[in-house]
Amino acid sequence: MTIEDYQGQVRAILAQLLSETPKADREQVLDAYTELLVRLHTEASHQLLAEVIEDARTRLDARLSPDPVRQTIATVQTTVQDFWNGLWK
């Protein structure tokens, strides 16, 4: 899930919250929409974690491979990722 997708879903949830009738109990509406946002965050977090684990598994498989080309590619990928992370920290 991209940031834009997540942002769009949160925006849709909040727009729905704002369009609720004024007769609704404020606490019940807040509880319901809090639950929706938490569920959305949980789904996005699990998806991101699954992607990270899959990437780590692929890199580990490449490093443990007897093929020197795959090992070199894995080393280059790790170096580029370390460089990229260094830029954002």
**Band (88; pLDDT cuts 50, 70, 90):** low
Q: How much is the pTM?
A: 0.55
Asked if residue 77 has pLDDT above 70, the reply is: yes
Distance between CA atoms of 16 and 36, rounded to whole angstroms? 11
Rounded to whole angstroms, the Cα distance separating 33 from 47 reads 21
Q: 38 to each of 5, 35, 63, how far by Cα in Å?
A: 16, 5, 37
pLDDT > 60? residue 89? no
Largest CA distance in the chain: 68
Q: What is the pLDDT of residues 39-70, one digit of tens each?
A: 888 888 888 888 888 877 777 777 777 777 77
Q: Is the pLDDT of residue 34 over 60?
A: yes
Reading the block at residue 11, the tokens are 């925006």
The Cα–Cα gap between 38 and 62 comes to 36
